């Protein structure tokens, strides 16, 4: 299993540009989520999904869109990038049910800089 994969690893954008951060998992997890990590602030939840076709907002959703058309993929879209979105983005996934539902698996992260 590849686990949780994220692409790209690094990205530089100009203000106003759009882009999609990709996240995929091969563990058949129902739950997927996106976090951003900023110094001194820990990880904050952006959006999450409990299954294909179902998404919801987390703590800091503004400026980001998500969709979940398959179990495996959960892309994060920045519609019009702003310098405040400079951050490291992590995707995570887990089961919702069963004995191991509490362990979330994290991807390696995408480091995004918006100029």
User: Could you list the residues that contact another protein (CB under 8 A)?
Assistant: 4, 31, 33, 35, 40-45, 48, 50, 56, 58, 90, 92, 94, 96, 101-104, 106-109
Nearer to another protein, 58 or 75 (CB): 58
Kindly give, in sequence order, each residue whose CB lies less than 8 Å from that of residue 111, ignoring residues fewer than 6 positions away. Answer: 9, 10, 11, 88
How far apart (Å, rounded) are the C-alpha atoms in residues 26 and 89?
19
Cβ proximity to another protein: between 11 and 104 the closer is: 104
Task: Determine the Cα–Cα distance for residues 67 and 6; give it in Å rounded to an integer.
Answer: 16
CB of 77 to another protein, least distance (A): 21
């Amino acid at each position: 299993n590849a686990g949780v994969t994220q692409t790209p690893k690094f990205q530089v954008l100009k203000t106003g540009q759009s882009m999609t951060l990709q996240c995929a998992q091969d563990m058949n997890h129902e739950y997927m989520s996106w976090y951003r990590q900023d110094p001194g602030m820990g990880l904050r939840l952006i959006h999450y999904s409990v299954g294909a076709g179902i998404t919801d907002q987390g703590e800091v959703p503004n400026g980001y869109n998500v969709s979940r058309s398959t179990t495996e993929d959960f892309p994060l879209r920045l519609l019009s990038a702003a310098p405040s979105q400079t951050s490291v983005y992590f995707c995570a996934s887990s089961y919702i049910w069963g004995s191991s539902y509490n362990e979330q698996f994290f991807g390696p992260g995408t480091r995004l800089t918006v100029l």
